[in-house]
Amino acid sequence: MNKPLPEDPMMRDLIKMARRHQMTRRAALAGAGATAATLALAACAPGGSTGEALTPAADLSDSEKTLIWHNWSLYMDEDDNGKYPTLEKFTAQTGIEVEYKIEIDDNDSYFSKVQKQLAKGQDIGADVACPTEWMAARWVNLGYTQQFDLANIPNHKNLAPAYNNPAYDPDRSRAIPYQGILAGITYNKAEYKKATGKDSPTSLEDLWDPALKGRVGVLSEMRDTIGLILLANGIDITSESSLTEDAFMNAIDFFAGKVADGQISKIKGNSYSEDLENGDTIAAIAWSGDTVQLNLSAETEKYGFFIPESGTTISADCFVTPMGATHKRNVEELINYYYDPKVAAELAAWVNYVTPVVGAQEEAVKIDPALAENQLIFPSEDFMKNAHGFRSLTGEESVKFSKAFQDVMLGA
């Protein structure tokens, strides 16, 4: 009997192809590797598959006061009626209507959906999207993104210094951080206690407790799942000399073992939250802010969030506007709005992710002094000592590492 198809569209298509052509598993894995290789090689060629520089679409913002935004789930303030208060205020201030769509489940699956249009400079159905920094860098390097006019974003000056001057976009004119992200362990408090007898995890090792076998989920975001495993192994994921290919593959072998023996039952993007809600998983490698939203949905402190002593991964999701988008000026107004410290604080109070906006903490004090002390939103320097960004990978490493991770997902 065939296993259920995985959630990731790329993996799902590969398995469908394998079944259709009665391929061997080895051939299917080679296909996955080829896909990864294609992505990595394409990253070396500005202009995508043609190598020709793309040109931005005509901007219709003056005549069309609208924009479409693709984002992740649980990533926008929302009231009981399903409306988004900060977006409603933006529309009231500017007259720009925003069609907000939850389209991103993980970076790779979203990229696989839109990559053909991106490569041709065509409209992907979004004027702005928020992939994670490493994927945003790929889009920029491929020439898929329009350059923002920073004169239209005066609040750009409020970008926190920690996010300044990335090598792929030194002046932050093509990829502007939306929120910072921390990864750790989210767990169902009652079910975890019932299964293990403990009140909460105390280390990443606790995920491998046999009492949780088959009830553990991990993210399909390689840099977070393998990043936490590497940190638990004492590897400095920011360092080329520490995060070597051998160190990475050792972590992959460990990860593969936990999938093969059934300890890990789910490997998902943002939809991992559904498994926690329906009880399929008790604990999962997860993103910090989602835990708050899960508790709001449950109307009780049902879930806990824990950062292992070995460290947490940190990254950022970024505003990018594809070459085929036709409302760049409207997007610039949107970004400027969310870089107002008062708006950033209001958003942070709901999403509970690390805000990249200087001045937001002072505004948060006015909303709730406890909010301004929340280390998951406004981390102190001491807290940040335990937060680590996954180092940049070379093209060759990206191919090898992605294929190794995908091989485990495909076999899961």
CATH number where 229 lies: 3.40.190.10
DSSP 8-class letter at 81 = T
Q: Say whether both 256 and 300 belong to one domain.
A: yes
Q: Say whether both 164 and 75 belong to one domain.
A: yes
pLDDT tens digit at each of 412 positions of the chain: 344 444 444 334 433 433 333 333 223 323 333 333 333 434 444 454 456 799 999 999 999 999 999 999 889 999 989 899 999 999 999 999 999 999 999 999 999 999 999 999 999 999 999 999 999 999 999 999 999 999 999 999 999 988 988 889 999 999 999 999 999 999 999 999 999 999 999 999 999 999 999 999 999 999 999 999 999 999 999 999 999 999 999 999 999 999 999 999 999 988 899 999 999 999 999 998 888 888 888 989 999 999 999 999 999 999 999 999 999 999 999 999 999 999 999 999 999 899 999 999 999 999 999 889 988 899 888 888 899 999 989 989 999 999 999 999 987 5
Q: Say whether both 174 and 253 belong to one domain.
A: no
Domain count within the chain:
2
Secondary structure element (H or E) that encloses residue 411, with its range: helix 395-411
**185 and 352 in contact (C-beta within 8 Å)?**
no
Q: Is residue 381 part of a domain?
A: no
Q: Say whether both 135 and 190 belong to one domain.
A: no
Q: Is residue 293 part of a domain?
A: yes
C-alpha 393/C-alpha 396 separation (Å) is 8
**20 and 375 in contact (C-beta within 8 Å)?**
no
Global pTM reads 0.80
Q: Say whether both 187 and 144 belong to one domain.
A: no
Q: Is residue 48 part of a domain?
A: no
Q: Is residue 309 part of a domain?
A: yes
Crossing angle of helices 328-338 and 341-351, rounded to 10°: 80
Q: Say whether both 160 and 191 belong to one domain.
A: no
Q: Say whether both 234 and 353 belong to one domain.
A: no
Q: Is residue 117 part of a domain?
A: yes
Q: Say whether both 335 and 228 belong to one domain.
A: no
**Which ranges of 176-309 would DSSP assign to H, the alpha helix?**
189-196, 222-232, 245-260, 272-278, 288-298
- Residues sharing a CB contact under 8 Å with residue 212, sequence separation 6 or more, in sequence order: 192, 195, 196, 263, 282, 283
Q: Is residue 32 part of a domain?
A: no
Q: Is residue 331 part of a domain?
A: yes
Q: Is residue 26 part of a domain?
A: no
Which tokens in the block code for residue 407? Answer: 């091989």
Domain that holds residue 293: 181-314+392-411
**386 and 232 in contact (C-beta within 8 Å)?**
no
C-alpha 239/C-alpha 162 separation (Å) is 18
Q: Say whether both 323 and 175 belong to one domain.
A: yes
Q: Say whether both 194 and 342 belong to one domain.
A: no
Q: Say whether both 264 and 405 belong to one domain.
A: yes
Q: Say whether both 322 and 176 belong to one domain.
A: yes
